[in-house]
Chain A
Amino acid sequence: MEMNKAVLPAVQGSGARPTIRGAAAPRPLGPLGYGLLAVLVAVPFFLNKTFTYHLAIFVCINAIIVVSLSLLARAGQVSLCHGALVGVGAYISVACVKGLGLPFLVGAGAAMLSAGVVAFLLGLVVLRLQGVYFVLITFAFSELVRLVLLEWVDVTGGANGVTSIPPPSIAGLVFLDKPAFYALAVVVLLAVLVFFRMFYASPAGEAVDAVGENPALAESSGIGVRRTQLFAFTVASAFAGLGGSLLAHYLGYISPESFNMHYSVALIVMMVVGGRKYLIGGLIGALVMTPLPELFRGAVQTQDIFYGVALILMLRFMPQGLAGVRMTWKRKKAA
């Protein structure tokens, strides 16, 4: 009987968990997708309003950070210290550029390196923990980073933070005004997306997905679960550091509270809303969730409630996120 069933083309998403897949093989966006992306990128230039630029820059930076966070999620771990690692990158970058007078590119590189190294060392110790225990440890680490930034006043400026951070300048070009910085952020975001697209199509990406989907089978097939998750944690955090560097040099001001646990949670919300299994999910999540607080400026309470309700509804009705909806629809159309 079972064999008869198998003769038919397998039914997609017939089980409780949909068997859709966005991942390892590169899935081209299609002309429509690229067109949409180009229009989206161009919107701020047409509107040409300071506030639109400001939002668009934040969407780009958040997208970079959320895309990196989903690398770890795809390896089967959730981190509550991603925001803290963004902070590590931000402070290191500022220390290099403002403190030591090094060029911005060196600062950004140092941000990636330092966040990656910190995550590697942390992961070396704590990645034997799985699931909720790992989440708890990363929460504790996030608090540790915040307290260090707060208490180590001589180096970090303490609660006052660091002010008048210079804007990025690359080869004589200074990205001071918003359109220029937006262009920079878009280029970096696209580079990050291309990198991750290639990454997920490589054997390393296949190993990450294998570990996230079935760790016991991966381990028994010679893919070390701990090693793969350590790799994902390190790479994800390096890109978080890059996001932190951009953030610091865009805002011109950073303080420990910018990188607290709430920020980490907001990043996770963006990832889940966008679709944690899809590369494009990070972009969608940042695009949808970044402008939302601005709509609720007058009432901070409402904003938190909205976050909570949105997350619950998403998990209930579209566990694969917005990108998952798109993929399911594509499959249904194809069937």
Chain B
Amino acid sequence: MNEHRSGQEMARQARAADCSGDPLLRVEGLSKRFGGLKAVNDLSLHVAHDEVVGLIGPNGAGKSTAFNLISGTLVPTAGRVMLAGEDITGKPPNVVVRRGLARTFQSTSVYPAATVQQNLLRGALSTLPGSIWTHVCTTTARRAALRRVARDVDEILALSGLGPFRDTAAGGLAYGHQKLLGVSIGFATQPKILLLDEPAAGLNGEECAELGRLLLRLQAHRRMSVLFVEHHMDVVMALCQRIYVLVQGQKIAEGTPQQIQANPAVIEAYLGAPDHADA
């Protein structure tokens, strides 16, 4: 394989047997301006196959905006988003998902009135061939596809540990379980890469650990990359292979968790400048 990247990445790419040497997700010069405010400015990042990458930064750094730009919820002012070599810039979310990039939301996002099983089924709907106009009729092929989806849903139920709540309305689940369900709905779309927006927000230590284990189980079940925004530093440091740091819409650092923890610019962004701390 024709490798021209750092050693660490080469090891990862070797693990991803069938990949072509190009990263799965490549973001180039992504910018978003709201009036005079540069919410995201010239952001470039990449995520390799099977890689878990973190995006961190203080509040208001533009992390969620970056997510919205990558997933198609917002259209960027400038820049490109490439997924597996295909340009998905500015495509609406429901198209981006079908290309293999799914995202979850910062707040808990489930279908509260539907059962847990239905929630996952709705996540998996996009994997059915055809459009909604053809979903009404039942053919043999369609029934087979539906059985396949139902099997998928059962597997994800088992993986997520939400099996006991299969027929419970999602709105009746505990907060921690709703968060897990949100991630599982994203996984049900069979993404090549899953973008998680603060999946551990509001979770306690044990729930954070469970979330980490869930991600590992999901990755072991079906290959996928993960890019996530998170404030829980212990979660980020434990799960991520690489980290990008965003401050005021600008990327100020990238590297392994060790490199990031030792990076003076990052420490300054989080704790303020040590020498002239007059704030």
Contact = CB atoms under 8 A, between A and B. Distances in A.
Contacts of A23: 113-114
Nearest to A234: B133
Nearest to B182: A217
Given A20-B169, A224-B92, A6 B109 contact: no
Interface in A178-227: 199, 202-204, 206-207, 209-210, 213-214, 216-225, 227
B217 interface: no
Interface stretch (A9-17, A286-294, A296-304): A9-17
Contacts of B102: 220-222
Contacts of B122: 206-207, 209-210, 218, 221, 223
Interface string B120-133: 01110111100111
Contact of A221 (B115, B123, B168, B172): B123
B139 interface: no
Interface stretch (B79-87, B93-101, B236-244): B93-101
Of listed A9, A14, A224, residue having the most chain B CB within 10 A: A224
Of listed B95, B111, B170, B189, residue having the most chain A CB within 10 A: B111
B110 interface: yes
Contact of B169 (A19, A207, A218): A19
B135 A214 contact: no
Contacts, number: 142
Contact of A25 (B118, B133, B188, B189): B118
Interface stretch (B23-31, B45-53, B173-181, B220-228): B173-181
B169 A17 contact: no
B185 A19 contact: no
Nearest to A21: B113
A249 B112 CA distance: 43
A22 to B, nearest CB: 9
A112 to B, nearest CB: 15
A100 interface: no
Interface in B138-195: 138, 146, 165, 168-177, 185-186, 188-189
Contacts of B177: 6
A224 to B, nearest CB: 4
A3 B173 CA distance: 10
Interface residue tally on B, bucketed by range: 35 or more
Given A2-B176, A12-B169, A21-B169, A213 B125 contact: no
A213 B115 CA distance: 12
Nearest to A222: B126
A21 B115 contact: yes
Contacts of A221: 94, 97, 102, 122-123, 125-126, 185-186, 188-189
A78 B73 CA distance: 24
A202 B138 contact: yes
A222 B186 CA distance: 10
Interface residue tally on A, bucketed by range: 35 or more
A120 to B, nearest CB: 11
B207 interface: yes
Contacts of B1: none
A2 B204 contact: yes
A204 B135 contact: yes
Contacts of A11: 172
A239 to B, nearest CB: 13
A305 B126 CA distance: 47
Interface in A1-40: 1-3, 5-6, 9-12, 14-15, 17, 19-21, 23-25
A293 B128 CA distance: 47
A24 B167 CA distance: 13
Contact of B98 (A222, A228, A277): A222
A53 interface: no
A29 to B, nearest CB: 20
Nearest to B170: A19
Interface of B: 71, 73, 92-95, 97-98, 102-105, 109-115, 118, 121-123, 125-128, 131-133, 135-136, 138, 146, 165, 168-177, 185-186, 188-189, 204, 206-207
- Across the A-B interface, give the 6 residue pairs with the lowest CB-CB distance, nearest first: A222-B126, A10-B172, A6-B174, A222-B97, A204-B135, A19-B169
8 contacts: A2-B175, A2-B176, A6-B173, A10-B173, A14-B172, A202-B136, A222-B125, A222-B189
Interface of A: 1-3, 5-6, 9-12, 14-15, 17, 19-21, 23-25, 199, 202-204, 206-207, 209-210, 213-214, 216-225, 227-228, 231, 277
